Chains A and B, each alone.
Chain A
Amino acid sequence: MTDSTRLWHYLTRYVDNFLLGGVLLLMLIGLLVLYSATDANLSRVSNQAINMLVALTIMWLVANIPLQHIMRLAVPLYLIGLTLLIGVALFGEIHNGARRWLNIGVTRIQPSELMKLAVPLMMAWYFDKHEVTLRLRDYAVATLLLLLPLFLILRQPDLGTTLLIASSGFYVLFLAGLSWRIIAGLVIAALGSLPVLWSMLHDYQRRRVMTLFDPTQDPLGAGYHTIQSTIAIGSGGVIGKGWQHGTQTHLDFLPEKSTDFIFAVFSEEFGLMGNILLLLLYLVVIGRGMVITANASTQFTRLIAGSITLTFFTYIFVNIGMVVGILPVVGVPLPLISYGGTSMVTMLLGFGILMSIQTHPKLVKT
């Protein structure tokens, strides 16, 4: 072995090539679409490329950390996150009508972003600790660990993040073997609590939900996004209008076309064929996540890997579902493609954990 191959081996030994390949392909598509969505704005595209490099670096770093260390971080991360969330509720800064940010002197941070990983980590840690004697009480405690931050985030308000954290927590519960009877009970309870939840929603959130059922009710307000994005997608047809030739995109009919609605840009320009390709690529990444999950050797790693993988899927489904007009408009980005650094980092942090689970020597219980 030469020095350079040894170095290469040293650098890549905790990287899962399969996962990395999928991620890089998606990022490449992301940059291409962003180039079109920003009307060939190179500075924004390179900004995003930098975001990606930062996130990839973080992913690599995390992949190199053995799982025991990550597991040890679960409780402190969760507690810090919860404290910060309380801090937000008390002293948070308000932007665009939502109290989500906390000024910690040097910069503003959004603690809810941290909780996207901290909550499933905490729950997985909890289930791992009580693996042997798993009882109903343990599920109740884990649920409480989930509901506490959820309540705080919903109040900010941040429907998108609430939804993502709720689902990541639910996946942990589900994979930990929550009995079907209780799941059914939870579903019924959730349906029953809908009116309560509804009353907690802000007016704009309610409008968004209502608009889902009839976007034409408010064509210039809440319905505008959905109407224009479905027009973009539908008019894309089977093969699309071609890269940089989407009329909805380039004549500014599409709102938020480089962030939450970037899928409409992609779909308008690449059509049904592009959509299928994109879904397949996502499926590859999800599938790899599931393989890693299936191979994971401990309760903690299984639960966290499953949760990360399924949450990744949830991002995709909620975002695309909203853009194609079958889900209400909530602020959920399209993973690896939407413009923005924060969600990119969170996402790749998760993938770093997946890689670490896959590549570090399996812990076998004796």
Chain B
Amino acid sequence: MRGTVELRNHGRELRHFQLRLAISAGFVLLLFGLLFARFFYLQVSQREHYHTLAEANRISISPIVPNRGLIFDRNGEVLAHNYSAYTLEIIPSKVANLEATINELANVVEIATRDRKRFKKLMGESKQFESLPIRTRLSDVEVARFAANRYRFPGVEIKARLFRQYPKGEGASHVVGYISRINSQDLQQLEASGDSTNYRGSDYIGKIGVEQSYEKELHGITGFEEVETDAAGRAVRVLSRTPPISGNNLKLSLDAKLQEVAEQAFGERRGALVAIDPTSGDVLAFVSKPGFDPNLFVDGIDSENWDLLNNSIDRPLNNRALRGVYPPGSTFKPFMALAGLELKKRTPQYTISDAGFFSLPGSSHRYRDWKVGGHGSVDMHKSLVISCDTYYYGLANDLGIDKIFSFISQFGLGKLTGIDIEGEVSGLLPSQEWKMRRHKQKWYAGDTISVGIGQGYNLTTPLQLAFATAILASNGTAFRPHLVKQVTNSKTGAVRDVVTQPQYTLNFNPENMLRVHNALMDVTRPGGTAARAGAGAAYTFAGKTGTSQVIGMKQGEKYVESKVNERHRDHALFIAYAPAEKPKIALAVLVENGGHGGSAAAPIARLVFDYHLLGKLPAGAAAVTADDEEGAHD
């Protein structure tokens, strides 16, 4: 009996157990079904989404920076080029402890305090995922040493980069300019102009000079590389590649040799020189002294050098030719003379009797000539050769400010020339309207008198003076002055001229032009104010000296050069062109605090002409003699 009960119980237990087992099997199937549903969701429904994520994980698009275009002078001499060097770079976002990593790196390659400071500065200016250089220009030994230790430094890599170099150093520094690292301001501009995509991966941008104004040509088009990267961010292989297109090369109109001659002619003196080919507007030489070494800026200038340049009393970073404004002084007179003839206020024969001063009718105020006692009987020709002030006082008064303004404006004074580098200033050619606007005052007759000799409110840049001289030399044909002559397309090799046509042409009476030319030629001949500079020239040499006052003189006070502080001395000016009958070169020279135009500025012009027209190099580097009182007054 008992056995049967147990057996029945046992049977029931077993059925009970098998039910539980069946439930378990159902449970297993249910949960496997759940897994399958999840697989289906991930691998079928959401496959695209996860595919995209996986691709984004593994593929990174890295820009390939194009080679920057090169800059040559008109004869093919290199003014800016690139060279390849290794840099050690860190991607801060991929490095957990930057400080520790840099300390570790310092055991492998040399890292100076200066490098650390610069890196910190760069970190502040850039985005997290950018690769930033901790060291530039690694030696081969350092490259090898890092390569051997590379595994220890995830997020740190050696990269071959192109560096910009300016082989001429200070030479033509204000023209060529320099590139430097892109800062947040540049970035904003790039974003505003829609160019920021093309600058992905670019670290440098032109900051001044041609490097800046032709940035679009020089930069080139950034290429792209699709790279497969692993979880540590290391490139595994390249998937696709769109090659970059190098920047276009620039051929400057500048003649590097001529530039060098001109720069050396200044010696240690401050000043500016702009030489233009009047038949094309080519700027042949463009000097602003002192200059600076643009190579200092490429890597980011260090504070010591920056202070040295920025705080120097000589202001080497100031582009005097482009941005320096000076009263044109007597170099204004040829334009006044032409105005007198063209507007029929003077005939060539008209002669004044110069007693050494001019007074307005009904006024006792004396506008003094530079020569005490005056020059005696002076006609237009003589007024230019000996630079008679009194003649132009009277002429200015007869012309009136409105006519002076409208006539001289045609030569580009008081206006931007439109040269192809940035930062040009317009100077000032005064007018009634200007005075009212600026000073809320009406124009007085007396204001006109000093304007007539290029003083008063007059302010011009050396570039403007050179431009005006070129127009004068070419009898009225105005080409926009330009530093870049040609742009060569790096891909097609096609060459494009920057300027081909005259900007405008002025029609002057050829006879009047000839009279002015003749007078200016006599300036460089015996008896003229630049006679010494012109002595023995193998070509016809037309010029006009000028002196621009730095400090005003009281009535009756005499300017004695030796008694005046060196920095308050007059600026010496000279405008010239040659050969006078068919000019190939026109220029303006300014020597700051140089004294007299004839003695300080004209000899520089002579050296430049001798080289440009005859290929003659100056005898010695410091060929220009010091001031010479005799016959050098203007």
Which A residues are within 8 Å of any B CB, using their own CB?
A: 131-132, 171, 174-175, 177, 228, 230-238, 247-248, 251-253, 267, 271-272, 275-276, 279, 282-283, 286-287, 290, 293-294, 299, 302, 306, 310, 313, 317, 320-321, 324-326, 365
Candidates A175, A230, A313; contact of B42 at CB < 8 Å: A230
Candidates B16, B32, B49, B51; contact of A283 at CB < 8 Å: B32
Contacts A175-B17, A283-B32, A365-B10; is A231 near B53 (CB within 8 Å)?
A: yes
Contacts A177-B20, A251-B230, A253-B58; is A326 near B50 (CB within 8 Å)?
A: no
Is B197 interfacial (CB-CB < 8 Å)? no
- By a CB distance below 8 angstroms, the chain A residues around B17 are 175, 177, 302
- By a CB distance below 8 angstroms, the chain A residues around B13 are 131, 177, 299
Residue of chain B at shortest CB distance from A255? B231
- Are B236 and A326 within 8 A (Cβ)? no
Bound-state CA distance A320–B36 (Å) is: 10
- By a CB distance below 8 angstroms, the chain A residues around B55 are 235, 247
- Are B28 and A235 within 8 A (Cβ)? no
- Are B38 and A326 within 8 A (Cβ)? yes
Query: What's the nearest-Cβ distance from chain B to residue A330, in Å?
Result: 16
Contacts A175-B17, A294-B18; is A235 near B50 (CB within 8 Å)?
A: yes
Query: What's the nearest-Cβ distance from chain B to residue A53, in Å?
Result: 29
Bound-state CA distance A234–B38 (Å) is: 10
Bound-state CA distance A344–B92 (Å) is: 43
Query: What's the nearest-Cβ distance from chain B to residue A227, in Å?
Result: 8
Bound-state CA distance A171–B174 (Å) is: 88
Known: A175-B17, A234-B47. 15 other contacts (CB 8 A): A132-B6, A232-B54, A234-B46, A235-B47, A235-B53, A237-B47, A238-B43, A238-B47, A251-B58, A272-B39, A294-B21, A306-B21, A310-B28, A324-B35, A326-B34
Query: What's the nearest-Cβ distance from chain A to residue B484, in Å?
Result: 48
Candidates B9, B31, B42, B57; contact of A233 at CB < 8 Å: B42
- By a CB distance below 8 angstroms, the chain B residues around A286 are 28
- By a CB distance below 8 angstroms, the chain A residues around B20 are 174-175, 177
- By a CB distance below 8 angstroms, the chain A residues around B6 are 132
Can you list, as one digit per residue, whether each of B499-514 has a CB less than 8 Å from chain A (1) or not (0)? 0000000000000000
Is B44 interfacial (CB-CB < 8 Å)? yes
- By a CB distance below 8 angstroms, the chain A residues around B231 are 251-253
- Are A247 and B24 within 8 A (Cβ)? no
Is B144 interfacial (CB-CB < 8 Å)? no
- By a CB distance below 8 angstroms, the chain B residues around A279 are 32, 35-36
Can you list, as one digit per residue, whether each of B1-41 has a CB less than 8 Å from chain A (1) or not (0)? 00000100110010011101100110010011011101110
Is B229 interfacial (CB-CB < 8 Å)? yes
Bound-state CA distance A180–B235 (Å) is: 59
- Are B24 and A310 within 8 A (Cβ)? yes
Bound-state CA distance A228–B230 (Å) is: 13
- By a CB distance below 8 angstroms, the chain B residues around A175 are 17, 20-21, 24
- By a CB distance below 8 angstroms, the chain A residues around B18 are 294
Bound-state CA distance A359–B73 (Å) is: 97
Candidates B44, B47, B54; contact of A247 at CB < 8 Å: B54
Which B residues are within 8 Å of any A CB, using their own CB?
A: 6, 9-10, 13, 16-18, 20-21, 24-25, 28, 31-32, 34-36, 38-40, 42-44, 46-47, 49-51, 53-55, 57-58, 228-232, 236
Residue of chain B at shortest CB distance from A251? B230
Bound-state CA distance A321–B20 (Å) is: 24
Contacts A279-B32, A290-B21; is A247 near B58 (CB within 8 Å)?
A: yes
Query: What's the nearest-Cβ distance from chain B to residue A173, in Å?
Result: 10
Residue of chain A at shortest CB distance from B59? A247
Bound-state CA distance A230–B38 (Å) is: 10
Query: What's the nearest-Cβ distance from chain A to residue B303, in Å?
Result: 38
Contacts A231-B53, A231-B54; is A251 near B228 (CB within 8 Å)?
A: yes
Contacts A232-B54, A248-B57, A283-B32; is A290 near B39 (CB within 8 Å)?
A: no
Query: What's the nearest-Cβ distance from chain B to residue A320, in Å?
Result: 6
Query: What's the nearest-Cβ distance from chain A to residue B474, in Å?
Result: 68
- By a CB distance below 8 angstroms, the chain B residues around A310 are 24, 28
- Are A231 and B43 within 8 A (Cβ)? no
Closest 7 CB pairs of A and B: A234-B50, A235-B54, A252-B231, A251-B230, A234-B42, A272-B43, A235-B50
Bound-state CA distance A131–B28 (Å) is: 27
- Are B40 and A272 within 8 A (Cβ)? yes
- Are A230 and B50 within 8 A (Cβ)? yes
For the residues of B in contact with A, the DSSP-based class is: helix
Residue of chain B at shortest CB distance from A237? B47
Residue of chain B at shortest CB distance from A286? B28
Residue of chain A at shortest CB distance from B19? A177
Residue of chain A at shortest CB distance from B50? A234
Bound-state CA distance A154–B77 (Å) is: 80
What are 14 pairs between A and B in contact, CB < 8 Å?
Answer: A131-B13, A231-B57, A234-B49, A236-B43, A247-B54, A247-B57, A248-B58, A294-B21, A299-B13, A306-B24, A317-B35, A320-B35, A324-B42, A326-B38
Bound-state CA distance A302–B14 (Å) is: 10
Bound-state CA distance A49–B236 (Å) is: 31
Bound-state CA distance A275–B44 (Å) is: 13
Candidates A237, A251, A271, A294; contact of B236 at CB < 8 Å: A251
Residue of chain B at shortest CB distance from A293? B21
Query: What's the nearest-Cβ distance from chain B to residue A154, in Å?
Result: 23
Residue of chain A at shortest CB distance from B49? A234
Residue of chain A at shortest CB distance from B52? A235
Bound-state CA distance A74–B28 (Å) is: 27
- Are B51 and A290 within 8 A (Cβ)? no
- Are B43 and A234 within 8 A (Cβ)? yes
Residue of chain A at shortest CB distance from B35? A320
Residue of chain B at shortest CB distance from A312? B28
- Are B57 and A251 within 8 A (Cβ)? yes
- By a CB distance below 8 angstroms, the chain B residues around A233 are 39, 42-43, 50
Query: What's the nearest-Cβ distance from chain B to residue A324, in Å?
Result: 5
- Are A174 and B24 within 8 A (Cβ)? yes
- By a CB distance below 8 angstroms, the chain A residues around B57 are 228, 231, 247-248, 251, 253
Query: What's the nearest-Cβ distance from chain A to residue B131, in Å?
Result: 20
- Are A272 and B54 within 8 A (Cβ)? no
Bound-state CA distance A299–B6 (Å) is: 14
- By a CB distance below 8 angstroms, the chain A residues around B21 are 175, 290, 293-294, 306
- By a CB distance below 8 angstroms, the chain B residues around A252 are 230-232
- Are A171 and B58 within 8 A (Cβ)? no
- Are B24 and A171 within 8 A (Cβ)? yes
- By a CB distance below 8 angstroms, the chain A residues around B44 are 237-238, 272
Query: What's the nearest-Cβ distance from chain B to residue A4, in Å?
Result: 39
Query: What's the nearest-Cβ distance from chain B to residue A133, in Å?
Result: 11
Contacts A234-B51, A279-B35; is A177 near B16 (CB within 8 Å)?
A: yes
- Are B24 and A248 within 8 A (Cβ)? no
- Are A317 and B50 within 8 A (Cβ)? no
Query: What's the nearest-Cβ distance from chain B to residue A178, in Å?
Result: 9
Residue of chain B at shortest CB distance from A321? B35
Bound-state CA distance A188–B36 (Å) is: 29
- Are A231 and B50 within 8 A (Cβ)? yes
- Are A237 and B35 within 8 A (Cβ)? no
Query: What's the nearest-Cβ distance from chain A to residue B455, in Å?
Result: 72
- By a CB distance below 8 angstroms, the chain A residues around B51 are 234-235, 237
Residue of chain B at shortest CB distance from A230? B42
- Are B43 and A271 within 8 A (Cβ)? yes
Bound-state CA distance A251–B56 (Å) is: 12
Residue of chain B at shortest CB distance from A254? B231
Query: What's the nearest-Cβ distance from chain A to residue B360, in Å?
Result: 85
Bound-state CA distance A306–B22 (Å) is: 11
- By a CB distance below 8 angstroms, the chain B residues around A290 are 21, 24-25
- Are B36 and A276 within 8 A (Cβ)? yes
- By a CB distance below 8 angstroms, the chain A residues around B42 are 230, 233-234, 324
Bound-state CA distance A267–B40 (Å) is: 12
Bound-state CA distance A248–B53 (Å) is: 10
- By a CB distance below 8 angstroms, the chain B residues around A132 are 6, 9
Query: What's the nearest-Cβ distance from chain B to residue A84, in Å?
Result: 30
Interface centre among A174, A233, A293 (most CB of B within 10 A): A233
Bound-state CA distance A177–B6 (Å) is: 17
